[in-house]
Structure 1
Amino acid sequence: MNDISARIPLYSAGHLDSAIDHLEQVLSLEGANSLFSKTYWRGRVVQAISTPGLAPCQHSRLQRLLDRIAQA
């Protein structure tokens, strides 16, 4: 992977809510120690939280997910 692709956001603000819904669902059902590691889930949430145009409520939801992963 090159440096340019690492800087391209995976999510857009308009599609972020469905991604957050998915992350909340997976992390509440399976937990951060499921099939994938805590590092994987933290990376997904950090990628989402770095989305340009993030609404305050989206940021709060993602921060709660980071807290949940840290406590797992």
Structure 2
Amino acid sequence: MNNFGAVAHLYSVRHLDSAIEHLEQVLSLEGANSLFSKTYWRGRVVQALSTPGLAPCQHSRLQRLLERIAQS
């Protein structure tokens, strides 16, 4: 069984910017077709989107990442 759904909020607002930066770097360099599947990367972004207290600019950056994944 997959524990992905068991961890509702992997990120905290305090550390979310560095997590977004990491996702942006990985997805711009390797794209969603790296060692991990699009499903994996989409899951990571969706998990970040579920972080309580998300700022509007963080939400926008994460939405752009979802669009990048969808287009790759």
Q: Check whether the contact 2:8–2:47 (CA below 8 A) recurs between aligned residues.
A: no
CA distance in 2, matches of 1:42, 1:33: 12
Paired AA for residue 20 in structure 1: I
| 1:65, distance to aligned residue in structure 2 (A) | 0.1
Cα distance in structure 1, aligned partners of 2:26 and 2:8: 24
Report the AA paired with residue 10 of structure 1: L
**Which residue does the alignment assign to 1:33?**
33
Say if 1:57 and 1:42 are closer, same or farther in 2 by CA, change over 3 A. same
**Taking structure 1 as reference, are residues 36 and 2 closer, same or farther at Cα in structure 2, changes over 3 Å only?**
closer
Structure 1 vs Structure 2: percent identity of aligned residues?
Answer: 85
Q: After TM superposition, which residue ranges in structure 1, 4 or more long, deviate above 4 angstroms?
A: none
RMSD value, Cα: 1.8
TM-score by length of 1: 0.91
Say yes or no: does 1:47 pair with 2:47: yes
- 1:15 is aligned to 15
Q: CA deviation at 1:2?
A: 8.7
Change in Cα spacing, 1:2 to 1:30, as seen in structure 2 (3 Å) is: closer
**CA deviation map 1:27-50 (0-9, x unaligned):** 000000010000000000000001
| Higher percent of residues as helix | 2
